[in-house]
Amino acid sequence: FTQKTKDIFIDIVGKPDLDGEEERAMISASEGKTVQLSCTVAADPLPPSIEWTWTNNDGIEIKLGPTDYNKQIILTTSNQEMTSSVTLRGVAEKDGGIYICKA
């Protein structure tokens, strides 16, 4: 019989690697200042997006959109990395809480 060969490409997919995954950061800012939080993900393939949630000081969890309240989210990609940044302008006590990025 005639031997035939075929090339096959296998892409191993693993969970995304979040920069600083094991770390928590505490940020303090003076009222009225601008604060920027960022989250970088390295993966192959990249996730479709990075989502941000904010648990405010009243314990209410809010999924942040691109321009919610005084918060702006910018997403950039390059090669196998994706970075999402949340910029909070004119921060006030009401902006306090826990901010979480999910990929």
Q: Is the pLDDT of residue 11 over 80?
A: no
Average pLDDT over residues 20-28: 68
**How many other C-beta atoms are found inside a 10 Å radius of the C-beta of residue 52?**
22
Q: Is the pLDDT of residue 20 over 60?
A: no
| Residue-level pLDDT at 44 | 78
| Residue-level pLDDT at 46 | 82
Q: Please, what is the end-to-end C-alpha distance for the chain in angstroms?
A: 50
Q: How far is the C-alpha of 42 from the C-alpha of 16, rounded, in Å?
A: 6
Distances (CA, A) of 66 to 19, 50, 72: 21, 11, 6
Partners of 84 in the β-ladder: 39, 75
Residue 77: HSE in the Cβ half-sphere, 13 Å Cα cutoff: 11
Backbone dihedral angles phi then psi of residue 69, each to the nearest 5 degrees: 55, -125
Give residues with Cβ within 8 angstroms of 91, minimum separation 6: 29, 31, 32, 33, 34, 35, 70
| Residue-level pLDDT at 49 | 86
pLDDT tens for each residue of 44-101: 788 888 889 989 999 999 999 877 767 888 889 888 889 998 898 999 889 899 888 8
